């Protein structure tokens, strides 16, 4: 059983005729994702790799029955693309775009929740259910079907840990890259709850990093609600205080958001925390 996306999920790509949108749409289709069309204003009536292109999301949904969307448009247009997806009837939106202003994302996330849709990202690698479908940029080669759920702030960590698990024959139910921006649509807790309720997921990997308190909140949820074993890795142990490291949300102010604080919270919740990503398979196997 998958969470969020499976091989039947009908997907459109907003920005499908652009360089990034087109590139990843092709890879998604090659993987087996049910891409049913795309959206580029002013390009309606054209075709992309045998898929129809529409001027608006509402027209795409009406014609194809799409319920999922990948947003691959520049930052200046990304927030409006999220609004358009929600208003067009899309239920799951994956936004790859980075550098969207925090003020815009605060409004967009609130609107998505108000309308009962779900946003993954922004600035995220997306979602992949191995052997079925992927929405985003997660390489298909890293995964294999199995029973481990993976939720991560970092794309690179997702790929590294996914490959390490698959190399050991430890397959996955779904990868969810939530993104590393300060304001995101789906949190660690949201995904942990999905994996806890998924009968096919037997254990979970959480991949976090310095900055904010999302991992600390996740630790509290794990302690109080999770019955399945969780292994984790927190990136950024050697990061200097006060300097942003990679993601917009990866910054430590004093002791707030430090790797040490997060590791302590997770371990107190019964989570096994790896010293490096390659150790995750050993922690799950032991």
Counts for the chain of helices (H) and strands (E), in that order: 9, 14
Residue 80 token pair: 């409006």
Residue 149 token pair: 């759920």
CA–CA–CA angle 44, 49, 53 (5° rounding): 15
Of 24, 99, 225, 247, catalytic? 247
Helix (H, G, I), strand (E, B) or coil at 60: helix
What span, in angstroms and rounded, lies between the C-alpha atoms of 7 and 83?
26
Q: How far is the CA of 231 from the CAs of 23, 219, 251, in angstroms? A: 33, 11, 23
Does 99 qualify as catalytic in the annotation?
Answer: no
Helix (H, G, I), strand (E, B) or coil at 190: helix
Within a 13 Å sphere around the CA of 72, how many CA atoms are in the beta-carbon half?
A: 23
178 with 120: CB under 8 angstroms?
A: yes
Helix (H, G, I), strand (E, B) or coil at 122: coil
- Indicate which residues carry an active-site annotation: 247
């Amino acid at each position: 059983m998958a969470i969020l996306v499976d091989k039947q999920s009908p997907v459109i790509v907003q920005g499908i005729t652009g360089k990034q949108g087109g590139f990843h749409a092709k890879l998604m289709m090659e993987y087996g994702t049910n891409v049913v069309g795309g959206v580029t204003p002013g390009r309606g009536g054209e075709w992309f790799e045998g898929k129809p292109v529409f001027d608006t999301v509402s027209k795409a949904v009406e014609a194809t029955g799409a319920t999922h969307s990948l947003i691959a448009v520049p930052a200046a247009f990304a927030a409006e693309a999220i609004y358009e997806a929600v208003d067009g009837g899309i239920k799951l939106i994956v936004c790859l775009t980075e550098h969207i202003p925090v003020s815009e994302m605060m409004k967009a996330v609130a609107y998505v929740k108000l309308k009962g849709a779900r946003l993954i990202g922004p600035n995220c690698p997306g979602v992949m259910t191995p052997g079925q479908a992927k929405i985003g940029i997660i390489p298909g080669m890293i995964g294999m079907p199995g029973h481990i759920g993976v939720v991560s702030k970092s794309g690179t960590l997702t790929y590294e840990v996914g490959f390490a698990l698959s190399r050991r024959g430890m397959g996955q139910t779904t990868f969810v890259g939530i993104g590393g921006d300060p304001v995101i649509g789906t949190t660690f807790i949201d995904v942990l709850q999905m994996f806890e309720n998924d009968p096919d997921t037997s254990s979970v990997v959480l991949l976090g990093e310095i900055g904010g308190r999302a991992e600390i909140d996740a630790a509290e949820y794990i302690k109080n609600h999770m019955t399945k074993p969780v292994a984790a890795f927190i990136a950024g142990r050697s990061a200097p205080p006060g300097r942003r490291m990679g993601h917009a949300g990866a910054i430590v102010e004093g002791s707030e958001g430090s790797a040490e604080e997060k590791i302590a919270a997770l371990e107190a919740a019964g989570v096994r925390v790896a010293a490096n990503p390659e150790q995750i398979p050993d922690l799950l196997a032991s």
